[in-house]
A and B are shown apart, each in its own frame.
Chain A
Amino acid sequence: MNTSGWLFDIYPNRLNGLTLWLIGDDGQRHCFQHKFPVSFYAAGPTHRLRALWKYLSEYPQPVKLSRTERRDIYTGLIPVLACEIPNPAALHALFQQVSQAFPDLTYYDADIHPALRYAAATNLFPLARCQVETLGSQVQTIQTLDTRWELNPQPAPLRTLTLEPDQDPACRTPTSIRFQYERCAYTLTLQPARALLINLRSILDRFDPDLLLTSHGDSWLIPWLAEKSRELNLPLPLNRDPAYEVITHKEHTYFSYGHIVYRSQQSQFFGRWHLDKHNAMLWSDYGLEGALEMARVTCLPVQEVARLSPGTGISAMQFVTALQTGVLIPWRKAEPEKPKTALELIRADMGGMVYQPTIGLHENVIGIDFVSMYPGIMVHFNISPEVPRSGAALEPSTLQPGLVPQTLAPLLQKRIAYKSALFDMPRWHTLREKYKARSSAEKWLLVTCFGYLGYKNARFGRIESHEAVTAYGREALLRAKEAAEELGYEILHMYVDGLWLKKAAKPQPEAVRRLLEKVADRTGLPIALDGIYRWVAFLPSQLNQRVPVPNRYFGVFQDGSIKVRGIECRRRDTAPLLSKTQTGILQILAKAPDAAAFGTLLPEVQRFISTQQRALREGRLPLEDLILRQRLSRELDAYRTPSPAARAAQQLAALGKSMRAGQSVRFILTRGQPGVHAWDLPTQIDPKTIDIQRYQTLLQRAIDTLLNTLAPTAPQPNIFDLPPCPEPHQQPLKIY
């Protein structure tokens, strides 16, 4: 039988192979089995490999053994023992025994997700269009009809059921659940549970959703439903595949990029998807569309990719490339950093270049940005752990593209295609939001790819490659600075991949084009105009007015849009009152065509500020505007002097709520002890206890941040008359 449709779900089954779910073009959901043997490889001394052969030939399950040669990314072709078993689900148990019995051997391809192996073998990925030929439920042949890099894939007709409790279960016990599917929307109370379960079961049977989109489903709803279904002996077909139970993973916390991150427990289905908006990675950033894009390009199943970090996504992409190009994926990386002299280390161990901006208000400022700078460098200059580089010169490599550039190139190309399509697209266009979400998901993959190049546990990482990327990034930025200075621009600020420049004359399109061309020519990297600011203010440190702080500024583009970085209204932990006040002030100031017009707007700004201040003083603000939100940086018992967030968390913990490091707490500042009131306490806060004075100080500070910098900076005359720069001879790019 021939079936065509979208590949929906894929997982190893207990028989010999994988279970595939398809959303058919006929509207049916099909379930197939596909025989799919998998292999891992072992390398080491011949006598040990022989011993392994003997061990495996006596293994209770059949293991197909053969001697062959495969390519290790660092050392080239090596002789290996290939061990193939017919059942992908049994690989993990087999490999555990083998690695314990033979810990001295080097293993490859041992812990690769079956979906990635399948993707490498068949070019199939989640939601790929495909054509299947089957005999009974067994797949005979399967063929993809599109690629991962399709800009406008045909959308799959997903049936979505949304379930939302009325309260955040971490704070208060929910009393009802809101159901929504197709055009139906209604609310059911949790009690009696039997009625709720029967209702849900009938929706699952009748409507048969592909996706259960929940709020707090991972941490509360699904476990609660499963428990009630057991208690009342009312089976609930959450899984489409009746052979499996709902899978749950435990909660955990980890440290990443200077933050403690908390992930609640997870519940995943078989043959159906469950996504929890509150436990999905970057959901607020790119939503379902971005999660689907992540799954498409990484080939990881949707339920997993939505809960994993982009770093795991980019590793998955590298694994697929490696499997397809016949490169072995090391089980544990054993590639130590090469020895360096102290001076080499000082020179190599640097990040991106971050300049000290010229503090103050500037007019007619040009902002330019390198397009996806670090991934661009990796692709253009072929930076990959296995690609040798001669000396320190970083010229475009003539060698075969390495594994990292091979993986990144189509992704980078796809993102640039989305970005340029967005640039030309009118605001009302229906595809706009989709493109934005997809491009944002791709951005996270590209960004983390650079980090993974230097991550000690990344299978295809090497610190020297990571350093080469930042080195070229610094070089490119300095070349851009030199090119701009040759054209007579003054450099106001530089930040890793962006520059802020100004000239006495108002910038003309022709001049900007010349600037971009010259920079692109000098660096070999694509650069784009971020925008021309009517005015922009670079802010000093809050502690010392003379000390500049990188990446703390606000400004208004020529089209009137506002750009803000590093000040209160950009931070997630500020009370909405402060953000609203700052945004309000900026919106008034954005009306000024230039800094000279500020004077006429200041009375309006002053009136707005007074209104806000009066509302705060007289207690007329909604309480929500005063909520601060902070993350717990450690476990509660580890605080020596508890921060306000920790004190608020203690109030919640006293009521039996579990508060772990990495979770965020909402609270309002109050007078006296303990100085805070957790927002999620069941008792309402008494408005009289709010520490108005403290909020007044915070508000004043936020206002000062904006207004103190608004006097235009007196132009600093150049103390030396700059001679016209001669065009420098273009040197090959050097790392240092």
Chain B
Amino acid sequence: MGRTLPTATDLLLQEQESFARFRRALRRSDQLALDDLFVSARQHLAATQYAAHALPFEVMLLSMLLEEHKLVIRLQRQLEEMTRRLP
């Protein structure tokens, strides 16, 4: 409303759109994985907006990495837990 610049959501959609050719050439399974990465970036749109970074895609990449890292740690914990329970 009355704003001059695109919102973080708009920026994300634009970035996603700009990779349309890349996505098209991927295998179907890889396409789905790629879409999932963009969903990860959507989890942190408020922070992306607040960061007001000159290169927003860097922040989006970092958002994706953040979600990946959380997953890695969670899995690592589970693995440790399961290893400990093994006889």
Question: Which residues of A approach B to under 8 Å, CB–CB?
Answer: 257-258, 342-343, 345-347, 349-351, 353-356, 451, 454-455, 466, 474, 478, 494, 544, 546-548, 717, 719-720, 736
Contacts and interface: CB of A to CB of B under 8 A. Distances in A.
Interface in B61-84: 70, 73-74, 77
Interface of B: 1-5, 7, 36, 39, 42-46, 49-50, 52-54, 70, 73-74, 77
Given A351-B1, A454-B2, A719-B70, A346 B46 contact: no
B52 A350 contact: yes
Given A343-B54, A347-B52, A719-B77, A455 B2 contact: yes
B70 A356 contact: no
Nearest to B5: A349
B6 to A, nearest CB: 10
A311 to B, nearest CB: 13
A354 B43 CA distance: 12
A342 B70 contact: no
Contacts, number: 55
A10 to B, nearest CB: 34
Given A257-B1, A258-B1, A454-B2, A494 B46 contact: yes
B53 to A, nearest CB: 8
A736 B39 CA distance: 27
A736 B52 contact: yes
B1 A356 contact: no
A544 B41 CA distance: 14
Contacts of A346: 5, 52-54
B52 A351 contact: no
Contacts of A354: 46
A343 to B, nearest CB: 6
Nearest to A466: B2
A345 B44 CA distance: 21
Nearest to A541: B42
A158 B3 CA distance: 45
Contact of B43 (A258, A351, A356, A455): A356
A356 B3 contact: no
Contacts of A474: 50
B39 A547 contact: yes
A451 B74 CA distance: 44
Contacts of B1: 257-258, 351, 451
A618 B54 CA distance: 59
Contacts of B77: 717, 719
A351 B3 contact: yes
Nearest to A736: B52
Nearest to B49: A350
A354 B49 CA distance: 9
A346 B39 CA distance: 24
A720 B2 CA distance: 41
Given A347-B52, A474-B50, A547-B42, A719 B4 contact: no
21 contacts: A258-B1, A342-B54, A343-B52, A345-B4, A345-B5, A346-B52, A347-B52, A350-B52, A351-B3, A355-B46, A356-B43, A455-B2, A466-B2, A494-B46, A547-B39, A548-B43, A717-B74, A719-B70, A719-B77, A720-B73, A736-B52
Contacts of A349: 3-5
B45 A350 contact: no
Given A544-B39, A719-B70, A356 B52 contact: no
B13 to A, nearest CB: 12
A710 to B, nearest CB: 22
A35 B41 CA distance: 67
Nearest to B3: A349
Nearest to B42: A547
B45 A356 contact: yes
